Amino acid sequence: MKNTSSEELYEARKTFFNERAKNWLGMWYKDQETGEYDRYEKEFQRLFSLVPIKDGDHVLDVGCGSGILVPYILERISDNGMLYELDYAEKMIKVNKRLHNDKRIRFLISDIVDAPLKSGACDLIICFSCFPHFQEKEQAMRAMVRVLKKSGWLAVAHFDSSEELNNHHRKTSGPVMHDKLPDEKAMKGLFVNSGLKIEKFIDESGFYLILGQLI
């Protein structure tokens, strides 16, 4: 149970993302020279070369926002897979739905802690550019692991190093200014304590990835 102040922060953070939903893709992912949403194309190709995703997988995109990962995931799961786009900010999901009309997608308006998915429903969970915003990180980890199949994978990724990301949030006014990505020791501890074997850890300028498999 959240106390009053944490409940207020939770709602303020949700409002923060809802207010920016309409322009989120343009703000962060649009190449101003080409007009395409491919500003981080090289980074996305690198990410998906490292994350084990295959034909037929059921994938959960946590904190999906307006769906920047959707085309990359759908391309790799082919016609036999399923993609769950989950975000607690309902306006993010509204934009995502408008942009991505595909029978393989299920849109879920929910906090990860309350995700309406069966245990063991997913082969892969990708938590891209959202982990610092989880208010209760241990609880969020347990919730994600619950919906993973045995030997399933969890990836937490950013296109900043942990230092770059935390510095960025500190400079941001509003409810996300104190949202931080845990340091290497703490992050690895969250994975291991949740039953995940860490297979890869990268923390360098412009790219962050921790990848674990449920054992």
pLDDT score recorded for residue 4: 47
Residue range 32-42, pLDDT digits in tens: 888 888 999 99
Average pLDDT, the chain: 95
| Max Cα–Cα distance, the chain, nearest Å | 47
How big, in percent rounded to 5, are the helix, strand and coil portions of the chain? 40, 25, 35
Residue appearing with tokens 């922060």:
9
Chain centroid to CA 80: 22
Closest among 61, 56, 69, 50 to 87, alpha carbons compared: 61
CB 70 within 8 Å of CB 96 = yes
95-138, pLDDT tens digit by residue? 999 999 999 999 999 999 999 999 999 999 999 999 999 999 99
Q: Which domains does the chain have, with CATH numbers?
A: 4-214 (3.40.50.150)
- Look up the pTM and report it: 0.94
pLDDT tens digits for range 181-214:
999 999 999 999 999 999 999 999 999 999 999 9
Q: Say what the alpha-carbon torsion angle 2, 126, 163, 134 is, to the nearest 10 degrees.
A: -10
- CA 214/CA 199 separation, integer angstroms: 10
- How many Å apart are CA 119 and CA 144, to the nearest integer? 9
Task: Name the token pair of 184.
Answer: 């290497």
- Asked if residue 211 lies in contact with residue 153, where contact means CB atoms within 8 angstroms, the answer is yes
